[in-house]
Every structure is written in structure tokens, then in C-alpha cells.
Structure 1
């Protein structure tokens, strides 16, 4: 039988010392908050927050035909991604439903790092292993050997530029060179670096709607790297942030969450991710016929809803048009940044634009349909 005890993060002792409250998440014991949800959320919007993402799954796909194998396995055209860049894409089933959403980094001509949600580690690894059959490529689950922390917020780059011990991993392996490369790094790109003599992949990616970076390194390195990041950034407003703040941040930014906005029966178009469907991709891929068919639009569409007051609709609450149930909330919260309730919901297409309400435990909460995202950072 599987061990029911949640797995501790490599940073568990650090979180305990910081006074974190913990929750079980996808088999891991992870910090849900430290000082408080609101304080951590506001810190990320105004300065920076440091997140432990060690629960995420990291899976390598490598070999001479790795690019062709991933083109056949995933929605995106990964062969077109240059080395040093990343792509957000989806793993679909044959019916066009979403098995998981992924960030894929091309770390070499024949090497990719696929980052999956923690709950889908085995699902993604198994699907990839099945789908690379027939290609000169292999799949390696490296989750236990790769740790991940993220620094997110408008001051994230400023803080990371000040962290001592980083050096570029190229022909000029110096701290000065690292700072030049980091200052020039654009979104969905990454650079190889060394910190205190250990390899770190530094990516300008994130899941908060803010600028920021994700740092991939050996799990044993994370406690020391976390401590130095906190020491460097504390004076600039950097705080440790937990899963609760991460969830409200991504909700404000209109970012879908697997198991809420994304499911095995939800197509990309229904979830507002039709832009990810390549119309001219040369190679075939699992789910292609389904997502290119007119039926992929689905009977319901994801919308943003906002309300007045302090009560918020939560996942699973019905959406009503008059006395008729026309949808369901997938994520909802009182927005810390905007100061009013927000929610994402799947709603019948013919009800979009109608007068809607959320059934909050028997009380009707009038809502207005608004475009996503609810919040977008200033350029």
C-alpha cells in the first residue's frame, strides 16, 4: 500500500522555523501560510514573495528524436522551441480533454524538461512513456532529484541581481556575467548558472501574474539558497509565501488550475486556452482531431465573474440565471488586490451576458460577467 504520510519538502525545517502552517497537497506536506494570506498576497503584488514549489514534478524527455516525440505527445509544437526557451502547453487525451497543463523547457537540442503538476506526476510520466514509443527518445522522472523555489513580484529581479554566489555557466563563468544575463532575460526564457558551485536553472516563469523567476536546483541545496535569498531580499520587502497566497494570486491573474478550470473532460477552447491549439502543426498529436472539431468549443465556456460585498462564491457553487442553473464556479475568492469577490466559472454559452447570480449556500449573490484576467500587472 502507498505510504499515507505526506512527504516533507526539502525546506520543511525552514518552514517550521518560520512559523508556517502546513497542509497536505498531492501527497506532500506544504506550507499554506506564514504570517497570513493577505500579507503574503500583498507582498507579492507590491514587492516579492518566495515560494517553495518542491512538490512540482520534473520529467526529462531526451534523445535524438525527443523533439518529434513531444510534438506527437503534446498540444504545442515543441520542436519549434529554441534551446534556452520554454513553452506553456497541454497534455491532452484522445477526446481533447486536458490531462495536465505543463511548462516545457528546451535545455538542449535533444533534451527537454517537462514540469507537471504534483498530483499528475505519474499520469504525465506514464502518458509520455507510452507516447514516445517508436521514437528514439526516453522519459526519465527526475522529480526526486530536482527541487524548485520561485521568487515572484515586481522587485524579484532586483533582489535576485543582489544575491551573492551566482555565476554564469558559460565561457565567462563570473558573477558579473550572470548579472548581465539575468538583466537581459526575457519571459519564458532561462539561463544556466551556478550558485556556490552548484548548478541552478534560472527561468523567468511563474504562476502569480507578476514578474518573477523559478529556480531549479538539487533539493539539498534549497535550504541554503532559500536562506540567502531571504537575507538578501528582506530589506526590499521579500517574504515567504504559501499555497493560499499562490492560489489567490493566480486567480486574480485568470490562470487556470488543474482540477478546477482544467479537467480531463474540458477542452482548451472551453477553458479559454484556444490560443494554444496550433492550426498548422505538421505532426499529428493525441487529441488533434477532437480539438480541431467544432464540438471542441463545448456547451459551456469559462468566464470571469465579480460581485460586490465580502461574500465570495467558491468552487462547486451553482451559477444561476433566474431560477435556472446555468453553470458552476470553478475557483472563487475575495480578491485581496481588488477588494471585491471574484470567481471563474463554466457557464452555458447562451447564458453569457445574462443577469447571473451565484448560489452561496442558499443565498443569491448577484454577479457581473467580466473579461479575464481580473488583474494584470503594469508593464
Structure 2
């Protein structure tokens, strides 16, 4: 069995008595104080996440813009230098290689952030797509640590550690500066449904930054947050997770992220397949579900209607914010009607669920 990889913050997690698990080949904290407490802390105060396992790829060269345009479904010409773009990256058949963030420095320089478990696969895919382009790719993942500070008090806490005016960093924009004297890339995105920042630094500086941010937010009730709460937070906000809502067998149109597919673009990998799918009409759609009867729907549980299999659960859990059991499911398109009921098969038993609007949670802006 391969040895688990560790982030530069492994010893900090051990010191905080985190429960550590294998997450895509990484030894990562799933919880510290407990999932529900950590979840509520991020919704009401602020939480600090170790996301140093994420992958980062630097893209430079004369044809960097046209390469990135062909690589992703979204349109990178729609953003300015200093701005960030979310996009799926697809196979020619329309399935999803990964979903990622593109940081735009200029037309000859982009920085792409990918999911941890997909980094090697994504980088190999990018290198393959780069053939024929005047572009250089560099997998910087091992040279970068990443912290995520999320929650309504994030700006207040981080502002005390940097001279950058954080109020000037708009949602999905980034800047370079110092945090506690450490050179960092600071961006304002997130994966929780709350306001927040990502702080990228050299790996050896990450433990010091981690401790300083926790110290700076102590009076505001900040806590370190594990993968358990990260999942419930993103799920309530209907932020998709690769391996659940996204995958090689699921297209971005089916996954409900068609807004990030710009079919008007001249070309991109997967365009023809997605155009055909849109023209034909979707055979299945992602829906939100609330459990009417007792039970928690888990990922990959089957969904039935009148005893017939009609789909499967992509994500499901107890929602700490809503205090109810909810789920996302990929179901036959003709059954994806608001208010209609379906059965989730939980341990061999049909348990009733109702289709409800999503996202389940949306913060007040």
C-alpha cells in the first residue's frame, strides 16, 4: 500500500488532535472539535482549512490564452488580468476531467488550481492538450501550500495580518502581498457558500501562517476546520464535488453547471458532444431532495419511482444549517419536477424524498 502524502501542516493537525483520514492518497484532518460545531463556526464566525493538497499548474507562453480557451468549457476572455474563472474541463465525449479555477495574470500567463485527487491525471491531460501550442506547463503543486479562511468574519481577521486592503479584492479576484510578513497570493473565492480567502505561500511558511491566523481570530471564535465540515458546507451551497456531482460519466449540463459552458466559443475539448446533448435534450438532471421519511441518503444510493430505478444520490447528509436530511441526486429528466416525490433506497428499504429548490443554503449578501 502506498504511503499517504502529508501537507506541510500535518504536525499542526496532530497537535490539535485532529482525526486524520486517507483522502485521495493524502493524510488529512476530517474533524477537530466535531463536524457540526465546525460547520456552524464557518457559517457564523470563521474557520481555517488546510487545502495544501490541492494542485497548482502554471501556464505560460505566447499561446497560453488559446491553449486555456481550448482546454476549458468557460470563456477566459470574459475576465480581466487579476480575475479568476471557474470552469469544468471536459473529455471529447462531454464527461468531466475535473472542475478548476483559472487565475489570469495576462494573455501569456495563467495559474490553474485543480482538485487534489486529480492533480496527476489533470496535469497529464493538460500536457496532452498542450501539444501543438507554444506554451509551457509547470506542475507547481509541491511548491505551494494553500490555506482557506472562510466565514463572515474572515476579512476582519485577515485584515489584521496584512497591509493589503482586503475590501478591494472583489469576489473571484486575487492580489499578491504579505500576510504576517510572508509573501502570499491572496484570492477571494471559496467552497463553503460563505465569504472568504485563499492564502497561497511557500510550504515552509505555512505552519507559521496557520498559527498566526488562528491566533489573530481567537477572540472572534475562529476554529480549524476539517474535511467533514468542508463537505457539508459545500453541499448545502450546492457546490459540486468531483466523484459525486462531477465525473467522467457526467456532463456539466447534467450536473447543473451549464452556465459555465460557453457553446458560443469557437472551439474547446468536448464542445461537439455538449452541443449535441443540449440539442437532443438532457436525459437526466441534478435535483435537490429533502427526506420526508426518516433516513440519510448517501452518495451512490439508488433512487426509484414506483419500484423502477430512475437515478442515484450524488451527495447526501444531515444539514446542520437547515436541521434536516437533504441530498442531491441525478435523476431521469422527466421526473425532475419541483415538489414531486421519489424513493431513496436505504439499506434495502424505499424511503420517501421530495424534490426541493437548490441551493439549499444561500448567504445574505
TM-score by length of 1: 0.93
Deviation at 1:89? Answer: 0.3
Q: Return the match for 2:61 from 60, 63, 72.
A: 63
Q: SS at the partner of 2:86?
A: strand
Q: How many residues align?
A: 362
| CA–CA separation in structure 2 for the residues paired with 1:309 and 1:359 | 12
| Structure 1 unaligned regions, length at least 5 | 167-174
Q: Is the 8 A contact 1:308 1:340 kept in 2?
A: no
Counterpart for residue 299 of structure 2: 315
Counterpart for residue 228 of structure 2: 244
Counterpart for residue 171 of structure 1: none
Deviations 1:185-214 (A, max 9, x none): 111001111234432010001100111001
Q: Return the match for 1:77 from 75, 87, 90.
A: 75
Q: Is the 8 A contact 2:293 2:352 kept in 1?
A: no
Q: Return the match for 2:247 from 263, 281, 292.
A: 263
| CA–CA separation in structure 1 for the residues paired with 2:281 and 2:240 | 17
Q: SS at the partner of 1:313?
A: coil
Q: SS at the partner of 2:243?
A: coil
Counterpart for residue 47 of structure 1: 45
Corresponding position: 1:142 with 2:143: no
| Structure 2 unaligned regions, length at least 5 | none
Counterpart for residue 195 of structure 2: 211
TM alignment of 1:143-222, pairs within 5 A: 143-163=141-161, 166=162, 175=163, 178=164, 180=165, 182-222=166-206
| CA–CA separation in structure 2 for the residues paired with 1:362 and 1:222 | 46
Counterpart for residue 290 of structure 1: 273
Further displaced range: 289-298 or 337-346: 289-298
Deviations 1:203-252 (A, max 9, x none): 00110011100111111111000111000001101100000000000110
Q: Is the 8 A contact 1:82 1:106 kept in 2?
A: yes
Corresponding position: 1:35 with 2:18: no
RMSD: 1.4
Distance 1:159 1:320, change over 3 A: same
Q: Is the 8 A contact 1:68 1:79 kept in 2?
A: no
TM alignment of 1:76-95, pairs within 5 A: 76-95=74-93
Q: Return the match for 1:347 from 288, 306, 331.
A: 331
Counterpart for residue 356 of structure 1: 342
Q: Is the 8 A contact 1:192 1:202 kept in 2?
A: yes
Q: Return the match for 2:215 from 198, 220, 231.
A: 231
Deviation at 1:24? Answer: 0.7
Q: Is the 8 A contact 2:263 2:271 kept in 1?
A: no
Q: SS at the partner of 1:271?
A: coil
